[in-house]
Amino acid sequence: MRSEHFATRNSIFRAILAASLLLGGCASHPLSPMPVSPQPETYRVGAPDLLSIQALPDPVMMRTVTVRPDGFITFDLIGDVEAAGRTCTEIAEDIASRLSRFKRDASVTVSVEAARSEVVAVYGEVGRVGTMPLTTQTRVGEAIAAMGGTTFTAWKSRVRVIRSDGEQTEVFGVDLGDIQDGNLATNVVLRGGDIIVVPPTPIARAGYFLQTILFPYQQVLGPGLGAANLASNLGAF
């Protein structure tokens, strides 16, 4: 009975290896290049960004406000001001124009104190799946590191960044192995709304696939058929 158990497990491991080689061959297409540093665009405010507003002349009015979910902020004397979708300059001009009824030669400065509306999503073989805000200029390697780095099942040379402007979607390739070796050609600056996908290696993918098939039999064949154990056992072949 014990010999049959080991024979069954060895057959499964060899099947996973064959499947992984097949998957690897199918995924050998070249990666699309990604521009290293896209041209920066004028930042457009969104909820829940934190804005700092200063209005001159005396008496000086200084306020720190959060953009509400409806896209507006509230400022003294003039009430609600539309902020979402506008640049800081456009918001400042609107406030100054409306304050001119109360302040002669009103001069307004608006700056982003905390950019909370720009986020990227990270999925796949990383320490922590989820979203992170782009509070500073962030590159793809930094974003993955901030989410706990990659797991041992990550296919580092096949990382994808998915970018959409609402009308057109682009998929770019990133090679984390090259980045770690000092080649920063694909360590790009991220934009709000980007989706980073770190896929599993062919072996891990095959392990996940077979685990779904063998799940009903795990109690019979033993706990060694977990996805992590399957992938590590394959290292012996």
Specify if 103 maps to a domain. yes
- CATH number for the domain spanning 67: value is 3.30.1950.10
Which of 72, 94, 114 marks a domain boundary?
114
Residue 237 sits in the same domain as residue 173: no
Residue 194 sits in the same domain as residue 236: no
Specify if 16 maps to a domain. yes
Specify if 59 maps to a domain. yes
Specify if 171 maps to a domain. yes
Residue 73 sits in the same domain as residue 98: yes
- Which pLDDT score, from 0 to 100, does residue 206 have? 83
Residue 122 sits in the same domain as residue 193: yes
The boundaries of the domain holding residue 220 are 1-30+201-237
Residue 64 sits in the same domain as residue 120: no
Residue 123 sits in the same domain as residue 194: yes
- Which pLDDT score, from 0 to 100, does residue 37 have? 41
Residue 85 sits in the same domain as residue 97: yes
Specify if 45 maps to a domain. no
- Which pLDDT score, from 0 to 100, does residue 133 have? 86
Residue 189 sits in the same domain as residue 133: yes
pLDDT tens over the chain, length 237 residues = 545 544 445 554 454 444 444 444 444 434 444 444 443 346 889 989 999 999 998 889 999 999 999 999 999 999 999 999 999 999 999 999 999 999 889 999 999 888 788 889 999 999 999 999 887 788 999 999 999 999 999 999 999 999 988 789 999 899 999 999 999 999 988 988 899 999 999 988 887 777 777 666 555 555 554 545 555 554 444
- Which pLDDT score, from 0 to 100, does residue 215 have? 60
Residue 110 sits in the same domain as residue 120: no
Residue 17 sits in the same domain as residue 7: yes
How many domains does the chain contain in total? Answer: 3
Specify if 195 maps to a domain. yes
- Which pLDDT score, from 0 to 100, does residue 14 have? 54
Cβ-contact 91, 112 below 8 angstroms? no
Residue 121 sits in the same domain as residue 195: yes
Residue 25 sits in the same domain as residue 67: no
Q: What is the 3-state secondary structure of the chain? A: CHHHHHHHHHHHHHHHHHHHHHHHHHCCCCCCCCCCCCCCCCCCCCCCCEEEEEEECCCCEEEEEECCCCCEEEECCCEEEECCCCCHHHHHHHHHHHHCCCCCCCEEEEEEEECCCCEEEEEECECCCEEEECCCCCEHHHHHHHCCCECCCECHHHEEEEEECCCCEEEEEECHHHHHCCCCCCCCECCCCCEEEECECHHHHHHHHHHHHHHHHHHHHCHHHCHHHHHHHHCCC
Specify if 5 maps to a domain. yes
Specify if 223 maps to a domain. yes
**Model confidence, pTM:** 0.60
